Chains A and B, each alone.
Chain A
Amino acid sequence: MEKILVPDLGGFDKIEIIEMFVSEGDTVKKETSLFSLESDKAVMDIPSPFAGVLKKLLVSAGDKVSPGDIIGEIEVPESDTVKTTDEKKSVLEQKKEPEEIAVKKTTEVQVSPTTPKDVHIIPDNFQSRDAVFHASPSVRQYARDLEIDLSRVVGTGPKNRISKEDLKNYIKEGLNSGGGGRISSGIPTIPLEDFSIFGRVEVIELTRIKRITGERLSAAWLNIPHVTQFDEADISDLEAFRKEQNMNVLSFIIKASAAALKKFIYFNSSLGEKGENLVLKDYINIGIAVDTEKGLVVPVIKDVDKKQVSVIMEELKEKSDLARKGRLKPEDFQGGSFTISSLGGISGTGFTPIVNAPQAAILGVSRSAMKPVWNGTEFKPRLILPFSVSYDHRIIDGAEAARFTRYLGSLLEDMRRVIL
């Protein structure tokens, strides 16, 4: 019998099981997905570490689990296990199992002991063999005393060791930043009011995605000196063409952005460590902000510059669907070098998006509208798309930004330029 543990998910704990794929008694192969967890914006399927028969499942959908929690037991066929004396023994006994071993099997499968979610208020702080940071037994105990989850602590000792000092600093940072996070901004906090004095209120929990997005947006907003450049493009010709091809505008905007990023490489860069250098990227991976029930997620379309618009459209559709179902994988979010946030489908004449740090810039697309345009002799109805680009002013100057938005506008006005 092997225990199935929640694997180390990279510093997360208490994450929710959103779907179970197996039930007790099922025979599973190694790597069969047992259930899926909603973690950092991604849904992760947890594979079975062993092949065998699931004898016991201690969790169900909706439960919150942490790395190291026992979620069940699996009976592994003898040939598959690393042999131990105990397993060997049972063969000797196979003729007649001594009745004393077979403690009366109860009909209810529900085993009461060790319901981790109730009991584990204090982190156990096991030191896993392959964790990046190492805590010695006394540090593990000190972390339990301070109720610190060691998987969240960065060790500054030699060879990635976590010292007691690291734990104290972790607590201090937590206090300075108003609890929780590791960012200490030093800005005053906003005092809360007792809203219920003024009327009935209801408190609802933010989704995990909202909380994480919130943290990241705050970090970006606090760290990056933002400037937003507004412009507009006449997309009448593009509109006619896309209708004829039965395609959407956003896919063309993505493609045009890639072409603009190729020319204006700073918009596809990141500020290096301590702001002393700039990391230029040879790839153009564009993240698209997708509005879902649980919050904002940003799947990334890779190597946009090398893809045809039709391919981009297909991928966009596929990833948005997955995003809305909450089934994007971690790699679907990774590696973005530029982001587009499109509110064109809803309303608005312009907005100031927040840069998706550590990227350098973000494109905001608003709703296109028919406007009279003076062509030198008369007013003509033209379809005008308003858009904005927010950028990190440490990397990009205002003039550069104006040139970028105009170039992007010109591409949208005549998509043929994209292939030049």
Chain B
Amino acid sequence: MSSMKTEVAILGGGPGGYTAAFRAADLGKKVVIIEKEDQLGGVCLNVGCIPSKTFLHGAEILRNAKEGEDLGIQFSKPVINIKKMLTHKESVVLKLTNGLKSLCKLRNVQVLHGEGKFIDTKHITVTVPGKGDDGEQDIIVEFDDCIIAAGSRPVVIPSFPVADPRIWDSTRALELPEIPKSLLIIGGGIIGLEMGAVYHELGSEITVVEMADQIIPGADEDLVGILSNTIKDRYKAVYTSTAVTHIDNSGKQLKVYLKGENSPESLAVDSILVAVGRVPNSNKIGIENTGLKTDERGFIPVNSRQETGIPGIFAIGDICGNPMLAHKATHQGKVAAEVISGQKSAFTPMTIPSVAYTDPQLAWMGLTEREAKYTGIEYNIGKFPWTASGRALSESSTNGLSKALFDKNTKRIIGAGIVGKNAGELLAEAVLAMELGADAEDISKTIHAHPTLSETIGLASEIVDGSITDLPGQIK
């Protein structure tokens, strides 16, 4: 048992945690990061965003090679080396985690690898696993301020068989344990569909089961429709409004019982990926010793300064609420660090963008059309189909749609959604437009380079201000 003192303790070294740590250090604070894994970076770097995107890049190359045929370019059948794919992924992750390590050194941010739990509102014990002959060791960290950035983990459904190697969560799926002949994905959200895209290109036959009446339930149905039509052709089946009632794992194949409008009663598959969401890790950090209370979903409530209500304890990222996205956590991390350092910061984004790195990609921000209708907001909308985009045609990517919503009263942009190639990148313009209070004319009169996919946002805005010439005329 040893002890140490620090000004700021950060519980969790994911994107939110390390960003908060670096910002606090840059503002002159002595900072310690407590990270239970051997590497910094959290889910995002190690078992989330980065590895999945590395594999998705591989999947894209496979798909492009197939599509080359239409252009008059034919490749021979690709040879897939899973081992090499994994080492490549690991090298990408390692580059990033090593980068973090050196950034910590440069800033004198100390990292304690071990599980941290609060003892009270000023102390955390960190259980550092033993090395060699040394047993595990407890270090007590005394802090002035603490930022809880302990993240989330995949939901486990208790009624499903446990410890069956054929039933995966997203972390396991990213280890590419095998390329099953048939893979069932339970949960048609972003994570499930991204993994589906990878395994499909690697040769698995994919089935998706989703409870809601559409995949990616948070996005508008016209955008989702384009994605869903595409994957329905590629996959064995996509069952929406369908629940999995039971999994029988006694046979050679997994037998999955379904309950849904159009689904069969049961399916037999080789592997299952369960991707039905994530839960915050708030019950793993000794929170009961601080007096902090979580809400019924386990989130730690915070205000816009990331304060929890207990003086000196802040919370950021997945653990303090939806959406569970790295780019939300990093911004909240900066706010918390700045508030601790005496700055008058607050987390006041107008929107937090969402991106699904599926094929085609799906990205949206601000209000969806459905939300606008539901809340009775009057809006003007511009929808530009990519079939009318020269760039999309030349890229063989006409399977896309860009749309933008503008408030009828203020005229400012209130939402945007894009489905198509690089939608995630294209969305950034709309987010900036919203934060800066741009209206349709501001966007349509901003020159977008030609030929680019980004033009589609400008053209969607032209539809709203009535100046569009790329589509049949609108007489006003």
| A and B are partners in one complex rather than unrelated chains | yes
Is B435 interfacial (CB-CB < 8 Å)?
A: yes
Answer whether A144 and B346 are a contact pair too, CB < 8 Å, given A111-B293, A114-B307, A130-B409.
Answer: yes
Once bound together, how far apart are the Cα atoms of A106 and B283, in whole Å? 13
Residues of A within 8 A of B133 (CB): none
Is B212 interfacial (CB-CB < 8 Å)?
A: yes
Is B49 interfacial (CB-CB < 8 Å)?
A: no
Q: List 21 A-B contacts (CB under 8 A).
A: A1-B296, A82-B374, A84-B218, A85-B216, A86-B277, A89-B187, A91-B243, A92-B187, A93-B155, A96-B159, A103-B296, A111-B295, A112-B309, A112-B310, A115-B309, A122-B344, A129-B407, A130-B377, A130-B410, A141-B344, A141-B345
Output the least CB separation between B191 and chain A (Å). 10
Interface residues of B in 210-239 (CB under 8 A from A): 210-213, 216-218
Residues of B within 8 A of A105 (CB): 296
Residues of B within 8 A of A147 (CB): 344
Stretch at the interface among A131-139, A346-354, A407-415: A131-139
* CB nearest neighbor in A for B283: A103
Once bound together, how far apart are the Cα atoms of A129 and B413, in whole Å? 9
Q: Are A144 and B277 in contact (CB under 8 A)?
A: no
Once bound together, how far apart are the Cα atoms of A112 and B290, in whole Å? 11
Residues of B within 8 A of A98 (CB): 155-158, 279
Output the least CB separation between A199 and chain B (Å). 42
Q: Are A101 and B155 in contact (CB under 8 A)?
A: yes
Is A126 interfacial (CB-CB < 8 Å)?
A: yes
Looking at B213, B279, B302, B442, the one whose CB has the most chain A CB atoms below 10 A away is B279
Residues of B within 8 A of A93 (CB): 155, 157, 276
Interface pairs A-B: 5 shortest CB-CB: A113-B309, A134-B437, A89-B277, A88-B211, A144-B344
Residues of A within 8 A of B442 (CB): 159
Q: Are B211 and A91 in contact (CB under 8 A)?
A: yes
Residues of A within 8 A of B156 (CB): 98, 100
Output the least CB separation between A292 and chain B (Å). 35
Is B88 interfacial (CB-CB < 8 Å)?
A: no
Residues of B within 8 A of A89 (CB): 155, 187, 211, 276-277
Residues of A within 8 A of B312 (CB): none
A95-B159, A103-B282, A119-B305 are known; give 11 further A-B pairs, CB within 8 A: A84-B217, A85-B217, A89-B276, A98-B158, A101-B298, A111-B295, A111-B309, A112-B291, A112-B309, A114-B301, A119-B307
Q: How many pairs, one residue from A and one from B, have CB atoms within 8 Å of each other in the complex? A: 165
Output the least CB separation between B288 and chain A (Å). 8
* CB nearest neighbor in B for A105: B296
Q: Are B211 and A126 in contact (CB under 8 A)?
A: no
Output the least CB separation between B189 and chain A (Å). 5
Residues of B within 8 A of A120 (CB): 303
Q: Are B211 and A114 in contact (CB under 8 A)?
A: no
Residues of A within 8 A of B346 (CB): 122, 124-125, 140, 144
Is B292 interfacial (CB-CB < 8 Å)?
A: yes
Partner of B302, one of A95, A102, A106, A113: A113
Is B266 interfacial (CB-CB < 8 Å)?
A: no
Is B80 interfacial (CB-CB < 8 Å)?
A: no
Interface residues of B in 269-304 (CB under 8 A from A): 276-277, 279, 282-283, 288, 291-298, 300-304
Q: Are B301 and A124 in contact (CB under 8 A)?
A: no
Q: Are B294 and A85 in contact (CB under 8 A)?
A: no
Residues of A within 8 A of B288 (CB): 104
Is B308 interfacial (CB-CB < 8 Å)?
A: yes
Majority secondary structure, B binding face: loop
Majority secondary structure, A binding face: loop
Is A378 interfacial (CB-CB < 8 Å)?
A: no
* CB nearest neighbor in A for B346: A124
Once bound together, how far apart are the Cα atoms of A105 and B288, in whole Å? 11
Partner of B300, one of A113, A127, A135: A113
Answer whether A127 and B350 are a contact pair too, CB < 8 Å, given A89-B277, A113-B310.
Answer: yes
Is A83 interfacial (CB-CB < 8 Å)?
A: yes
Answer whether A92 and B244 are a contact pair too, CB < 8 Å, given A82-B374, A132-B410.
Answer: yes
Partner of A129, one of B307, B367, B439: B367
Is B348 interfacial (CB-CB < 8 Å)?
A: yes
Q: Are B371 and A82 in contact (CB under 8 A)?
A: yes
Once bound together, how far apart are the Cα atoms of A161 and B442, in whole Å? 13
Q: Are A1 and B407 in contact (CB under 8 A)?
A: no
Once bound together, how far apart are the Cα atoms of A149 and B414, in whole Å? 23
Output the least CB separation between B144 and chain A (Å). 18
Partner of A113, one of B279, B308, B370, B371: B308
Q: Are B217 and A129 in contact (CB under 8 A)?
A: no
Is B322 interfacial (CB-CB < 8 Å)?
A: yes
Once bound together, how far apart are the Cα atoms of A226 and B393, in whole Å? 74
B240-264 CB contact bits vs A (8 Å, 1 = yes)?
0001100000000000000000000
Once bound together, how far apart are the Cα atoms of A82 and B301, in whole Å? 22
Is B436 interfacial (CB-CB < 8 Å)?
A: yes
Is B412 interfacial (CB-CB < 8 Å)?
A: yes
* CB nearest neighbor in A for B153: A100
Is A202 interfacial (CB-CB < 8 Å)?
A: no
Once bound together, how far apart are the Cα atoms of A108 and B414, in whole Å? 40
Is A273 interfacial (CB-CB < 8 Å)?
A: no
Once bound together, how far apart are the Cα atoms of A202 and B370, in whole Å? 57
Q: Are B300 and A88 in contact (CB under 8 A)?
A: no
Interface residues of B in 344-369 (CB under 8 A from A): 344-346, 348-350, 366-368
Q: Are B435 and A161 in contact (CB under 8 A)?
A: no
B150-167 CB contact bits vs A (8 Å, 1 = yes)?
000001111100000000
* CB nearest neighbor in B for A118: B309
Q: Are A82 and B309 in contact (CB under 8 A)?
A: no
Is A335 interfacial (CB-CB < 8 Å)?
A: no
Interface residues of B in 402-459 (CB under 8 A from A): 407, 409-412, 414, 435-437, 439, 442
Q: Are A113 and B292 in contact (CB under 8 A)?
A: yes
Output the least CB separation between A53 and chain B (Å). 12
Is A318 interfacial (CB-CB < 8 Å)?
A: no
Once bound together, how far apart are the Cα atoms of A257 and B398, in whole Å? 72
* CB nearest neighbor in B for A91: B211
Output the least CB separation between B431 and chain A (Å). 11
* CB nearest neighbor in A for B338: A141
Is A116 interfacial (CB-CB < 8 Å)?
A: yes
Once bound together, how far apart are the Cα atoms of A96 and B303, in whole Å? 32
Residues of A within 8 A of B210 (CB): 88
Partner of B279, one of A91, A101, A119, A127: A101
Interface residues of B in 103-136 (CB under 8 A from A): none
Output the least CB separation between B256 and chain A (Å). 13
Output the least CB separation between A398 and chain B (Å). 46
Is A145 interfacial (CB-CB < 8 Å)?
A: yes
Residues of B within 8 A of A135 (CB): 437
Residues of A within 8 A of B309 (CB): 111-115, 119
Partner of B157, one of A82, A92, A137: A92
Q: Are B243 and A111 in contact (CB under 8 A)?
A: no
Q: Are A106 and B293 in contact (CB under 8 A)?
A: yes
Once bound together, how far apart are the Cα atoms of A132 and B437, in whole Å? 11
